Structure 1
């Protein structure tokens, strides 16, 4: 099977031939090894040396030098807003305390659609409105260049410090699929 062996970041694409595109949600943009099929039908194996975060606009380099464009799929999220910057910062703290992926922008925080967290946000004075858009959460403080998000848990030995208790599930989304 044809293999995709490296990630080419969107600002380094150059003039290589783009032969297909793959539309992936947040979870599938955090992989090392996974069988994939492009929108145009091209089947290939994502086979990276290390787990990587694939960003919207990046490409996967196939063994033969051709590229497959990566597109972030729209996902159902909550757009969390607050009446002031300080109120939004407080909401970010509470969301972070739940160890869930979050995308932080200038005026909102985006998280996966969750009615319990929506109620918490509203109870703290914020708004939580459902939206559908690509999800681009923060990579985490311990990303180390490969996007490790401690909020997602992990099943590898602890070679890096963690500033949070380890009572959350340990299933690493970056493990081989």
Structure 2
């Protein structure tokens, strides 16, 4: 099986022969080593030196130089909004207090769909509407850089 040992980030991708694509949700985009098959049927072994988060628009480099495009799959999320900037910051604090992945935008926050958290948000004066879109949550404070890994150096609160 052909191996893939590196990734070109979307902002550094300038050229190359894209021969296939993989469509992955957030959980499946965090990888180090796994056998994969592109949508067009190209089989390969992703064999990276360390786990990274493959982002929408990145390219996986096959050992023969060909590229496999990474596409973020749409996921069922909650889009959380608030009536003011201060209210949104309060909601972000409450969401963060639950240690769940969240994508934070200027005017909204997105989390995995969860009816309990939706009710919490509504109870605090926000809105929580179901949407379907790619999920790109923040990396942890101990992760550094773009890789958005999971739990490296993270401590848990009991």
Please state which band the TM-score falls in when normalised by the shorter chain.
over 0.9
Pairs within 5 Å for 1:106-145: 106-145=106-145
The root-mean-square deviation of aligned C-alpha atoms, in Å, is: 1.3
TM-superposed CA distance for 1:161, in Å, is 6.3
Q: Deviation per CA, 1:78-100, whole angstroms, max 9, x where unpaired? A: 00000000000000000000000
* TM-score normalised over the length of structure 1: 0.85
Is the aligned partner of 1:19 residue 2:8? no
Structure 1 unaligned segments of length 5 or more: list them.
155-159, 168-177
> Could you say which residue in structure 2 is the equivalent of 1:51?
51
* TM-score normalised over the length of structure 2: 0.94
Q: Which runs of 4+ in 1 moved over 6 A?
A: none
2:154 and 2:46 map into 1 onto residues whose CA distance is: 29
Is the aligned partner of 1:149 residue 2:147? no
Structure 2 unaligned segments of length 5 or more: list them.
none
Aligned length: 157
2:6 and 2:120 map into 1 onto residues whose CA distance is: 41
Asked if the contact 1:142–1:149 (Cα under 8 Å) also holds between the matched residues in 2, the reply is no
